[in-house]
Amino acid sequence: MSDSPPTDPLAGSPFLAACRCEPHDRIPVWFMRQAGRSLPEYLAIRGTGSILEAVGDPDRATEITLQPVRRYGVDAAILYSDIVVPVHAIGFGVEIKPGVGPVAENPFRSAADLERIRPLEPDVDTPYVLETVRRLVAELNPHGVPVIGFAGAPFTVASYLVEGGPSRDWLKTKSLMHGDPDLWHQLMGRLADMAIVSLESQIEAGARSIQLFDSWAGALTVSDYRQFVMPHSVAIFDAVADLGVPRIHFGVTTGELLSSMGEAGADVVGVDWRTPLSIARQRVGTDKALQGNLDPAIVNAPWPAVEAAVRAVVAENAGHPGHVFNLGHGVMPSLDPDALKRIVELVHSLDPGGSTPPRP
């Protein structure tokens, strides 16, 4: 028996190294929305009920999280859950309609609705999430694969609660933001507190990275973002800063917001496909990592085109150690799993120092 301390099985994780801009021997890759939708093995076990039922069942949620890791050989596993799970769990009254997304029958409209957003107690309200994280950690860490926990950022979650469902213009959300800033900040503060305790509990259960999804933040002007949204995201990143896990911050059409999103406190900034990584790097700075940014809509194109696009993303990164390869947004249900697998193999064959030809 040796007295030496047990070594961390994730010490060699290329994903964790890239998040910290440390050298690593292969470009790490995972896909947002990798768990589910496009995988036949997902549809086989998901069941016909709401996704919230599958999330509430650690057996199914664990298996669904593992499926893409097995199939694609990705470098990280994203927990199978959803950004509205905490607000659902505290009884706000939000469901996820298949093919639609989160829907709230009684949307958030006035100060009286604040009472419907009580603090989250993860052990009591979402014990199934923590059980799933613990099972995943036990299963994956020995193989060197970290689990990414996540939360919805206050703005993106608020947009569902205020609109009552998915929106293209965020009219009611922006009306509330500008019409009653005080109420807006109270709503955002409550949602930020929920995100904080949720993320803390996932990290406590063993998640080794977290991602804050502010998917729809790109709908805002820079000045609205900085005034109405950023302080709450700053509070979240600050609260988990000392827990020792890399923090990823993601949104879509955020080209103009990238520097602010980095400034909010993330270690890694997600970039959608519209902004080349070289430009994102100028905006975010060279001390943070970037995540992205293959256009998900080209994955089903003929392979030579996909290969060229993957190589172009890696070339744009120009050998910076802080690059986690991903899509610019999530996997769509119709994407070809075989193409995604081939993308993982290609990314892994490229030199993290640049876009050199694949190894023989």
In the residue annotation, 42 being an active-site residue is answered as no
Is residue 323 within 8 Å of 310, Cβ to Cβ?
no
Beta-strand ranges (E) seen in 71-199 are: 77-78, 94-97, 101-104, 147-152
d(CA 316, CA 278): 5
Length of the chain in residues, anyone? 360
- Identify whether 33 is a catalytic site residue: yes
Q: How far apart are CA 189 and CA 212, in angstroms?
A: 15
Q: What's the rounded Cα separation, in Å, for the pair 318 and 335?
A: 28
- The helix or strand, by DSSP H or E, that contains position 323, with its residue range, turns out to be strand 323-327
Q: Is 58 in the site for ligand CP3 (CB under 6 A)?
A: no
- The encoded tokens of residue 340 equal 């995604």
Q: Of the ranges 11-19, 30-38, 193-201, 225-233, which one interacts with ligand CP3 (CB under 6 A)?
A: 30-38
Quote the least distance from Cβ 22 to ligand CP3, whole Å. 25
Question: Contact letters (x/-) for ligand CP3, 158-197, by CB under 6 A?
Answer: ----------------------------------------
Radius of gyration of the chain (CA): 20
User: Segment near ligand CP3 (CB under 6 A), from 18-26, 73-81, 169-177, 296-304?
Assistant: 73-81
Asked whether the beta carbons of 65 and 4 are under 8 A apart, the reply is: no
If one asks whether residue 330 binds ligand CP3 (CB under 6 A), the answer comes out as: yes
- The minimum distance between CB 51 and ligand CP3, in angstroms, equals 4
Q: Among residues 33, 134, 311, 342, which one is catalytic?
A: 33
**At its nearest, how many Å lie between ligand CP3 and the CB of residue 274?**
15
Counting contacts by CB under 6 A, is residue 15 touching ligand CP3? no
Site string for ligand CP3, 207-226 (x = CB under 6 A): ------x-x-----------
| 60 in active site | no
**Residue 75, SS3 per DSSP:** coil
The C-alpha angle 35, 39, 45, rounded to 5 degrees, equals: 80
Report 280-319 residues binding ligand CP3 (CB under 6 A). Answer: none
**Residue 77 interacting with ligand CP3 (CB under 6 A):** no
- Interface residues with ligand CP3 (CB under 6 A)? 32-37, 46, 51, 78, 80-83, 96, 98-102, 150, 156, 213, 215, 330
